[in-house]
Amino acid sequence: MWKNGHDAYLESRVLSADPVELVNLLYQACIQAVRDARYHLERAEIGERSRAISKACEILMELNAVLDRERGGEIAGRLAQLYDYLLGRLLEANIQQSDQPLVEVLAILATLSEGWQGIRTAAPEAVPSGGVWSQQTGQESAVSHAWSL
């Protein structure tokens, strides 16, 4: 069953979300995972730090996997390159037990998240049904990962 009411709320939000909202949810979960990694790094909690970084990596890999490179064109390609870069920085932070790459990843994720939030506020009626994400991803893909977030 549900751990708490927040889990039920999150499931409802994920199941009713359009693609832009799903991306926003994934960005927020990734940001939180990186923040958690920084918290655990500061406290020398190696296992917890590694789990938080792994979680952030999984989210970035999901975001990369669902890009529709055909319809998304150059933007999808650039996002894929950026996600790869972020993954590299997260791995570097984990191996070197360094905070600086985590700070950089947080800054980039915050910028990306703001951009996607701006899509909705700028023109809510123009929210894409798929955009740079493949139609096959649907909610089942995001949902399957949302619970591991």
Buried b (16+ CB within 10 A) or exposed e, 34-68: bebbbebbeeeeeeebbebbbbbbbbbebbbebbb
Least confident of 34-38, 64-68, 99-103, 137-141: 137-141
123 pLDDT band, cuts 50/70/90, is: low
Going from N- to C-terminal start, the domains of the chain cover 20-116+132-146
pLDDT tens, residue by residue, 80-101: 999 999 999 999 999 999 999 9
CATH superfamily, region 20-116+132-146: Flagellar protein FliS (1.20.120.340)
